[in-house]
């Protein structure tokens, strides 16, 4: 809380699929954010594996035991969505210098058009090489082992990936 007001922030992403790295960022952000909204977005530049509804449902399953965390789907400008839910902060995870370069550009745009600040959290070493794109490729190319996939994504998500790509 700041001046008696809860700190509200938005963690936007496509989350297609949700990774253990995403969950790690959520847990770590909750240490200093009172009210965190996970914004499941539609990115027209990406071909989604799971529908928006499926991604929201999966994320809700993953955060069901976390107080002060909600999940909402959205379309359009992230800065406008952030302001529409009464927040002024975006949370982003950074894996490497390529992420940082891209996210700095996005942060500057969001600040310029909406007055929205961005907080960057470095991804834990354990998840630094984890990306939704790579995970989809791994499963598509034949990895259907639940234990191995669960190192990258939560087990319920791993099961859905295996179902999606067939056994």
Q: Residue 165's Cα: distance from chain center in Å? A: 22
3-state secondary structure of 72: strand
Query: Whose CA is closest to 130, among 10, 14, 18, 11?
Result: 18
Token readout for 80 is 């406008």
Residues carrying an active site annotation: 22, 46, 95, 132
DSSP state of 125: G
**CA–CA separation, 167 and 154 (whole Å):** 18
**CA–CA separation, 94 and 101 (whole Å):** 10
Cβ atoms within 10 Å of 80's Cβ, excluding its own: 13
């Amino acid at each position: 809380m700041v001046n008696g007001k809860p700190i509200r922030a938005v963690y936007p992403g496509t989350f297609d699929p949700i990774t253990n790295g995403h969950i790690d960022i959520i847990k770590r952000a909750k240490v200093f954010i009172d009210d965190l909204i996970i914004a499941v977005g539609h990115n027209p530049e990406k071909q989604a594996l799971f529908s928006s509804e499926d991604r929201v449902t999966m994320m809700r399953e993953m955060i069901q035991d976390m107080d002060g965390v909600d999940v909402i789907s959205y379309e359009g400008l992230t800065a406008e969505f952030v302001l529409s839910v009464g927040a002024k902060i975006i949370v982003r995870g950074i894996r490497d210098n390529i992420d940082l370069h891209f996210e700095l550009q996005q942060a500057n745009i969001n600040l310029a058009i909406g007055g929205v600040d961005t907080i960057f959290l470095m991804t834990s070493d354990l998840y630094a090489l984890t990306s939704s794109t790579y995970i989809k490729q791994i499963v598509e190319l034949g990895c259907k082992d639940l234990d191995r996939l669960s190192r990258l994504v939560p087990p319920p998500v791993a099961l859905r990936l295996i179902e999606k790509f067939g056994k």
